[in-house]
Structure 1
Amino acid sequence: MEIRNQTRVESFFLLGFAEEMDLKPLLLGLFLSMYLVTFTGNLLIILAIISDSCLHTPMYFFLSNLSFADICFTSTTIPKMLLNMQTQNKAITYAGCLTQIFFFIAFGCLDNLLLTSMAYDRFVAICHPLHYTVIMNPQLCGLLALGSWCLSVIGSLLETLTTLRLSFCTPMDIPHFFCDLPEVLKLACSNTLINNIVVYFVTIVLAVFPFSGIIFSYSQIVSSILRMSSAGNKYKAFSTCGSHLSVVSLFYGTGLGVYLSSAVTSFSRTSLIASVMYTMVTPMLNPFIYSLRNRDIKRALGILLNKTVTSQ
């Protein structure tokens, strides 16, 4: 068994795209463009919802929170990655790594919980339409959003604070473009049993349970839609869920693909590409999915852009 020297941690080294330095200009331009599109697209969704009183409904309230979470989620990892690629410096400080872990987990969990709240909103709207305004009142929507934020922060704190107790070994190379907690734990010299227990606990509470809630909500939605006699009503009900289902499929499909594959095998180039999908591509596509499939959002965006042009 190989014995590695234990050392006082000062920095880690992110090796995610170290082997593709000949493609650096292409990757730098691609990732920068994706980040700008993600930031701009989600910001426009938020501004459109705020500026249009017709969109002050539970569905769009949760969507604006999701767009804000996606902006923060991508801002946690991509700017540092772009800086490292530009300067050819792969280092990230110990404090910077822990900070990245905290915010990455917090906003990732927040996405899970907000998608679950949106699924519940669709469940109430389709399965209990007559009681929708009573059930999905502003107080409940505020509590769901606040609860999502608080649970995400608490879960992330648990995982991050337990990492502080670890000592690490050299070399401190992370085969990723950001400080991914499972990869960081592999570098620890000390026992990681407590960390693994906390990771599994947070994953079950803030990922498995929410995903189960989404599955249950849509099973009830599908059952309710199938009982409708009018084909027009069926199409209208399905169309209101299409955007949300697309986002859920992208987010959970790519995220589960990464962590299930990394649990079976060591981190690979395939895992790296899959990580790009759920950390960059999915948040970038969310605004397009919601705006292209939603006439209310397209109308609000048109009004917002017209106001911006005429005010100049």
Structure 2
Amino acid sequence: MTLQDMPIMDRLHIGGRIDAPSGKAVVVDRAVFEHLASFKRVRLNDIDRVATPPDALWNVRKIFGHLALPFPRLWIEWNNTRDDGGTGLPSLWMAAACESFKSAVVQPEWCPVELHENSWMVCPLALHGGRVLQIPMALIVELNSDGLFKGLYGTSVRGDGTTGSTPMDVAAVVDMLWDALVAVGWMNCRNVEVRHHSREGKPSKSKGRRRERSVRSLDFHTIHLPGREASDGLHDSGGGPGGGARLHQVRGHFKTFTEAAPLMGKHTGTYWWGWQLRGDRRNGSIISDYHISRAS
């Protein structure tokens, strides 16, 4: 492991700081460090990009899968390359601090809805010029008592140490945190592997338990989707001068199987169906310029 495996979390050691839009900063002391160390950490590497559908075709369950938080506290880092003008955050390294309201020390006053303990919030941070920046907005994922999805809510958080209840456009917040929400859905899939990575090396005896705790806090996980190795090369153009059938790239998506309609007659739960090709490789070329239109 290197320092840059988790660029934002790795900077939040004791004495580190989180800069707020107001110019003030949260300095990481022992209590803040211990709180951050309680998060399960996930780094997203070469992940499948799930495209934003037209607004009229939104179905949160299909886009993000099962949104129950897999751990009470979850920290996700990734390179945000969505380059959406609405977020103003093109190509920034980001982190999403996800925390269930059951595990939260204090439920925030600015929360726009009355939440069940299964519900959770996610607060984004960004890395810019070596500084960790607080982004003054948050997303609330509302779940019912069974952990099933009820709604998404965007809200603003003032950067001056106070909180506000001004509602944000949920679409802008969701777009910023799109990859993190998909990652939560992946972690709830039965065929997705979440692999643990330990920090290299052992703490010296002279530094004792404090050093051991610091080292352990930098462990992280990666998500490995099924079929990625087998799909290598699928984005190359297919051969064949005839150009008969065309190969279509089918976007990855979530599938949930129930007892009424189990997978292969026996498996239930949510699974990730990765990118696939439809067509004849020998006689066609791979394309991805088609569009799904609104149902008439």
Q: Same fold (TM over 0.5)?
A: no
Which structure's relative contact order is higher, taking Cα pairs within 8 Å and 6+ residues apart?
1
The answer to which structure has the higher strand fraction is: 2
The answer to which structure has the higher helix fraction is: 1
TM-score (norm 1): 0.21
